[in-house]
Structure 1
């Protein structure tokens, strides 16, 4: 029997973080095949050539863009801030020769919580980004989740937002996997090594993962450790079920996809004009934010998009052209997870909510528990729920932390 999807509405007071100030209207992400070729080349790229050249001069310093972005938060990097919170960027080695590392933004509730013995007594929230993204895209969530004024249980939590291996400011080794197991092991093994190094216990762990990051976290649990967390929040997860109706995938798009040519290749090949090229997307994607937030998020995205290709080459192994699942999560043994699950979708999400409903039915039936897994629909949002409806997303995640 299909379970009803509960709906999370916007809070009565909605703070979008600023007005458009004359900029392009905010645009939610759409299905990757929905933009025709002529629309791409007729796009506007508002960044000036001079500004693009300025960004290009820092192309080898993505950490600068990350630092400048996170510095918009009221508690970073000043350890003497009035909020009591301590935030750090940490790069944790994950192999014996320290060649590879996981980049992390961690928020401690206070200075005392930084001690290992204190962390063993606290809960841990791990936030995992989606395809092509990085930890900086959660900018508008960090403050609310960690502030006592919005989260009464914040003093019980350490918040970790990580860049997966080959993404963001994590190390970017050459991508060598050539089959499904190898691709998943690339991410699973590096995540496991990070968990061990950071000494995060399963019973204290809440994982909130977006899109392909959610797929990777679920398959990690299925293949490596069914008890790896207490609860897994699947935020607009990718590759859950195959498309239920045929999509019209343009031939040029399918050809590029099958050759594993990612959109980030365009940014790299644009050289000094790469930042200007990214501005065609970022000017719409971040339009609802303040001018300072828009500027720093743009620079951050340019900074990570133009880095050497690595983890992004996972895409063609897991998804067919048009983002159709090659190995749907529903067929991978989702019921084997022993943690609780919650599947979050935007009301206008291009991800199919049916996948979450079907998986929840399987999980709840297997565990004989109607509350083992549920599906939530968040109004006024699409695929990027955490940015489309910032307040509703933050409120929902804070409620999960309170009830943990």
Structure 2
């Protein structure tokens, strides 16, 4: 009998992780392998949110189907400002893949100076409920969008300035297409899923037929991506068990650096770990919407023309981000004379809001001030 190799054991662990989505009894021992729990996530988040100086209202918002959305509302402390804030259009912030409300810690105080700011954990992420998601891309997207609308109804918000980062930008755009009357201004921060997947390059030579040349990553990268396409994107973190937190520290040290003036320990990477070491849910929905290597099955650039012509759209990109900022110019071209702006924030990577928080907050606040 052949003994499994370490890589075989890792794949078996990842596969077991996926099994836990739909079964519980036979795999009841599995969660103990991972040093995480919703209680530990709550504690990590509480340490982060303790940095907020303004008034924080936080609770679970229960939707009609009984799923719950973890929600923050941040308002200015001063009594005089509270009345002024009540008349202002609220800013609603939607995090990206694998994130949660804690990642906005550098922005919540600054952006709540003149208006109420809401942030919530997307369905299937963070502390929100983790229901099953369909494998169909359009149905998975619709489940996310419907939960946002049900959340808005439950909160009693008539209109909002809607800001989404990465996956949150993709979902915020989809939401605005369906419910434009609820959005006063759409702000997209390094949005994921907008460009179409590049087509094979065509090279021709005189007197000969054209030859198709596929340009892509090395074979071993494609082979590895092919294997892991069968699993959830962050399954390796859960498969690593007690080594999971160290894995996050090793591969995402940037999260510690981005917040090092607030925390001199592993607070932020612990938060990221606990957000993503729970049984996958929103992660499954995200996978359903993805093509291989992370392209969206339903690129949003094909649908931005469905946004109302008068809907203001602001796109913010980090100059050092892996997200192609030229897509913002494509969106502006598609929208023609519709109000669309593209801003590049220097020395910022994909997490613009944390890399250059002062500039990000200034730009977003100026955009909000154009609304009221």
TM-score (norm 2): 0.79
Q: How big is the shift at 1:387?
A: 1.4
Query: Which residue is equivalent to 1:277?
Result: 247
Aligned counterparts of 2:154 and 2:228: Cα–Cα separation in 1: 36
- Whether the 8 Å CA contact 2:124–2:280 is kept in 1: the answer is yes
Q: Please give the residue correspondences for 1:379-398 in structure 2 after superposition, counting only pairs within 5 Å.
A: 379-398=346-365
Query: Which residue is equivalent to 1:375?
Result: 342
Query: Which residue is equivalent to 2:173?
Result: 218
- Whether the 8 Å CA contact 1:247–1:322 is kept in 2: the answer is no
Q: 1:69 aligns with which of 48, 55, 63?
A: 48
Any unmatched runs of 5+ in structure 2? 1-6, 8-31, 200-214
Q: 1:339 aligns with which of 288, 311, 326?
A: 311
1:218-275 deviation line (CA, Å, top 9, x unaligned): 11222x2123211011101111112447441613442244314222x22222222222
Aligned counterparts of 2:216 and 2:189: Cα–Cα separation in 1: 23
- Whether the 8 Å CA contact 2:315–2:343 is kept in 1: the answer is yes
Q: Please give the residue correspondences for 1:342-361 in structure 2 after superposition, counting only pairs within 5 Å.
A: 342-361=314-333
Greater alpha carbon shift after TM alignment, 301-310 vs 312-321 = 312-321
Aligned counterparts of 1:113 and 1:269: Cα–Cα separation in 2: 52
Q: How big is the shift at 1:143?
A: 2.3
Structure 1 position 138 matched with structure 2 position 104? yes
Aligned counterparts of 1:256 and 1:125: Cα–Cα separation in 2: 41
- Whether the 8 Å CA contact 2:69–2:120 is kept in 1: the answer is yes
Q: How big is the shift at 1:181?
A: 2.3
Query: Which residue is equivalent to 2:147?
Result: 190
CA RMSD for the aligned pairs?
2.7
Q: Number of aligned residue pairs: give it.
A: 321
Aligned counterparts of 2:78 and 2:288: Cα–Cα separation in 1: 43
Aligned counterparts of 2:85 and 2:230: Cα–Cα separation in 1: 45
Cα 1:315–1:374, aligned 2, differ >3 Å: closer, same or farther? same
Instruction: Flag as ranges the 4+ runs of structure 1 deviating above 3 A.
Output: 57-61, 110-115, 117-120, 243-247
1:273-299 deviation line (CA, Å, top 9, x unaligned): 222222113433322423726522122
Aligned counterparts of 1:266 and 1:239: Cα–Cα separation in 2: 23
Structure 1 position 121 matched with structure 2 position 84? no
The secondary structure found in structure 2 opposite 1:56 is coil
Aligned counterparts of 2:80 and 2:162: Cα–Cα separation in 1: 20
Greater alpha carbon shift after TM alignment, 58-67 vs 341-350 = 58-67
Query: Which residue is equivalent to 1:15?
Result: none
Any unmatched runs of 5+ in structure 1? 1-36, 38-52, 76-84, 147-153
Aligned counterparts of 1:352 and 1:358: Cα–Cα separation in 2: 11
Aligned counterparts of 1:395 and 1:118: Cα–Cα separation in 2: 20
Q: How big is the shift at 1:393?
A: 0.9
TM-score (norm 1): 0.73
Structure 1 position 164 matched with structure 2 position 144? no
* Larger CA Rg, structure 1 vs 2: 2
Cα 1:257–1:126, aligned 2, differ >3 Å: closer, same or farther? farther
Aligned counterparts of 1:120 and 1:95: Cα–Cα separation in 2: 26
- Whether the 8 Å CA contact 2:36–2:278 is kept in 1: the answer is no
The secondary structure found in structure 1 opposite 2:106 is helix
Q: How big is the shift at 1:58?
A: 5.4
- Whether the 8 Å CA contact 1:86–1:111 is kept in 2: the answer is no
Q: Please give the residue correspondences for 1:145-156 in structure 2 after superposition, counting only pairs within 5 Å.
A: 145-146=111-112, 154-155=113-114
- Whether the 8 Å CA contact 1:342–1:375 is kept in 2: the answer is yes
Aligned counterparts of 2:77 and 2:51: Cα–Cα separation in 1: 19
Structure 1 position 178 matched with structure 2 position 135? yes
- Whether the 8 Å CA contact 2:304–2:331 is kept in 1: the answer is no
Aligned counterparts of 2:91 and 2:158: Cα–Cα separation in 1: 11
- Whether the 8 Å CA contact 1:59–1:306 is kept in 2: the answer is no
The secondary structure found in structure 2 opposite 1:322 is helix
The secondary structure found in structure 1 opposite 2:183 is coil
Aligned counterparts of 1:304 and 1:252: Cα–Cα separation in 2: 28
Aligned counterparts of 1:200 and 1:293: Cα–Cα separation in 2: 38
The secondary structure found in structure 1 opposite 2:105 is helix
Greater alpha carbon shift after TM alignment, 239-248 vs 349-358 = 239-248
Structure 1 position 228 matched with structure 2 position 182? yes
